[in-house]
């Protein structure tokens, strides 16, 4: 009996030890800096409600998840209309005619022909169903509060966008104002069109607490063309009306590094949670400190909304405390922007870079056979060592290139051009020396005679749009750069 018990106990101990050595890998989605009650990021290759874990989904017909997503950091839902792929949300979402809502999502490389249902919420108690429907018709976005499920092609009750979308990443937002009875569409953060439904049959029939489907219509007798052929990412639902300012931030602020403390220098406080990485940089009270030939800070694999006629704005604070100049023509590189030329490309090519030389800041552009330098004026820059400067670089093929120093226009190139930007971008701050064994690692550095510099960068922002001068002045006003004189 004792032997038997011992054997049982020993076996139990051995089994316990064996199981304890296996550590399960738990996937956690990124912490997105947006306001939402429900969020599906798809980062963990699942339709999981990242906020409350209540409104999870079930996929049908072998849906796959693709990497990279819009931000370049996680995964996106990839829908194939030929396979009639879709997602059903397990629990009913709480829409109603008495509750305002905002639904936003990134939609990538959609097939822009015919009608496509992206989001469907149908009251299943009546037949035919009346459905809250959002989708695309050719290149136009639409929303309907009570689209009859047997007449998806009937455009009478839809609100169509005024502007079409391109086959690229787009940020779509749909709103319902329960107080005013108004539905609205925003495209890439900008208001597009609205419609007042007060007194209409659409508003009277809207129930909103039915079955929810993503990627296709809730009906068994529909054409394959109604299913979405697209990528979807970061679908969020908020049971309130987001402001135009908030929607523009979500759509256009690609990343924002504030450098508030030593534990989170790589954390993005913008809406996309793009994790940066660095080498030999140090947090100090005023920001991120660079002091060696190998100091750099990098954000990679992000993209800009507009692939054609793109625009971006880069804004940051900088204080240069020391420069080791051996020759007058030496330069210090402050940032470089590199681009991949195609989806499958491994190497980056130089797109543009920003540097200091002869007490003047310069922006060098190397895109698509255009080689030009825009420089700040000595009269407006008044460069001094150990002094804080706020820099804003705006690059727009339709409006030109603008350099702002401390909120004032200091450099301008107002010729325009249409450029098709490449697939993914990489931003590097600092001046690390080139590794000769990896000649393509720092492609922007070859044209400069580089000098080592020491200094601090703070509040670094990248927008996929053109900032206005008043916005730049507001950024400067709202920052607490205590050392600025």
pLDDT tens string 109-119: 888 788 889 99
Average pLDDT over residues 341-352: 72
Q: Which of 61-75, 88-102, 330-344, 413-427 is predicted least confidently?
A: 413-427
Question: By percentage, how much of the chain surpasses pLDDT 70?
Answer: 79
Residue 190's pLDDT band (cuts 50, 70, 90): very high
Residue 53 CB neighbours (<10 A):
8
The answer to whether 334 touches 429, Cβ cutoff 8 Å, is yes
Residue 228 has pLDDT above 80, yes or no: yes
Residue 23 has pLDDT above 50, yes or no: no
Average pLDDT over residues 371-393: 78
Cα separation, 464 vs 60, in Å, equals 35
Residue 393 has pLDDT above 80, yes or no: yes
Closest listed residue to residue 450, CA positions, set 323, 299, 281? 323
Cα separation, 221 vs 101, in Å, equals 29
Structure tokens at 38: 């429900």
Structure tokens at 395: 């690059």
Which of 114-128, 274-288, 302-316 is most confident?
A: 274-288
Domain 254-478 - what CATH class? mainly beta
Cα dist from 31 to 22, 197, 256, whole Å: 27, 36, 14
Cα separation, 242 vs 247, in Å, equals 7
**Ranges of each domain in the chain:** 38-242, 254-478
Output the average pLDDT for the chain: 82
Residue 238's pLDDT band (cuts 50, 70, 90): very high
Residue 463 has pLDDT above 90, yes or no: yes
Residue 20's pLDDT band (cuts 50, 70, 90): very low
Say how many Å lie between the first and final Cα of the chain, rounded: 86
One fold for both 38-242 and 254-478?
yes
pLDDT at 89: 95
Q: Which of 18-32, 216-230, 372-386 is predicted least confidently?
A: 18-32
The answer to whether 171 touches 249, Cβ cutoff 8 Å, is no
Residue 417's pLDDT band (cuts 50, 70, 90): low
Domain 38-242 - what CATH class? mainly beta
Residue 400 has pLDDT above 50, yes or no: yes
Residue 365 has pLDDT above 50, yes or no: yes
Q: What are the pLDDT digits (tens) for 138-186?
A: 899 999 887 665 555 566 678 999 998 888 899 999 999 999 999 999 9
Average pLDDT over residues 296-323: 85
pLDDT at 17: 36
């Amino acid at each position: 009996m004792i032997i038997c018990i011992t054997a049982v106990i020993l076996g139990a101990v051995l089994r316990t030890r064996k199981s304890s050595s296996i550590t399960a890998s738990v996937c956690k989605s990124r912490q997105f800096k947006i306001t939402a009650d429900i969020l599906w990021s798809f980062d963990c290759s699942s339709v999981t409600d990242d906020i409350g874990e209540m409104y999870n989904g079930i996929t049908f017909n072998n849906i796959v998840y693709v990497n990279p997503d819009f931000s370049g950091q996680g995964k996106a839902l990839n829908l194939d209309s030929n396979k009639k792929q879709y997602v059903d949300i397990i629990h009913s979402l709480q829409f109603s005619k008495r509750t305002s809502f905002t639904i936003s999502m990134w939609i990538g490389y959609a097939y822009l022909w015919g009608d496509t249902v992206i989001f469907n919420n149908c009251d299943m108690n009546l037949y035919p169903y009346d459905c809250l429907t959002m989708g695309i018709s050719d290149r136009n976005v639409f929303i309907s509060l009570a689209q009859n499920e047997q007449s998806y092609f009937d455009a009478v009750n839809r609100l169509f966008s005024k502007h079409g979308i391109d086959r690229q990443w787009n940020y779509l937002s749909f709103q319902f104002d329960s107080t005013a009875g108004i539905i609205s569409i925003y495209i890439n953060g900008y208001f597009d069109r609205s419609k007042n439904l007060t007194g209409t049959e659409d508003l009277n029939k809207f129930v909103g607490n039915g079955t929810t489907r993503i990627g296709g219509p809730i009906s068994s007798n529909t054409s394959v063309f109604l299913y979405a052929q697209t990528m979807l990412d970061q679908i969020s639902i908020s049971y309130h009306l987001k402001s135009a300012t908030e929607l523009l931030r979500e759509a256009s602020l690609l990343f924002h590094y504030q450098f508030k403390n030593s534990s989170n220098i790589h954390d993005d406080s913008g809406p996309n949670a793009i994790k940066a990485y660095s080498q030999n940089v140090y947090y100090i009270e005023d920001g991120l400190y660079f002091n060696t030939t190998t100091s750099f800070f990098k954000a990679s694999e992000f993209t800009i909304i507009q692939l054609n006629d793109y625009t971006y704005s880069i804004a940051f604070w900088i204080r240069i405390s020391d420069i080791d100049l051996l020759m007058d023509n030496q330069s210090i590189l402050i940032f470089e922007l590199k681009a991949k030329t195609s989806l499958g490309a491994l190497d980056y090519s130089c797109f543009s870079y920003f540097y200091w030389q002869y007490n003047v800041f310069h922006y060098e552009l190397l895109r698509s056979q255009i080689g030009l330098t825009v420089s700040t004026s000595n009269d407006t820059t008044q460069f001094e060592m150990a002094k804080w400067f706020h820099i804003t670089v705006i690059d727009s093929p339709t409006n030109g290139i603008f350099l702002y120093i401390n909120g004032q226009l200091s450099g301008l190139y107002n010729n325009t051009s249409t450029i098709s930007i490449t697939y993914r971008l990489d931003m590097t701050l600092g001046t690390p020396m080139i590794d000769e064994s990896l000649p393509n690692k720092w492609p922007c550095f070859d044209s400069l005679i580089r000098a080592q510099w020491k200094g601090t960068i703070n509040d670094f922002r990248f927008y996929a749009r053109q900032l206005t001068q008043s916005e730049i002045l507001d950024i400067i006003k709202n920052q607490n750069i205590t050392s600025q004189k």
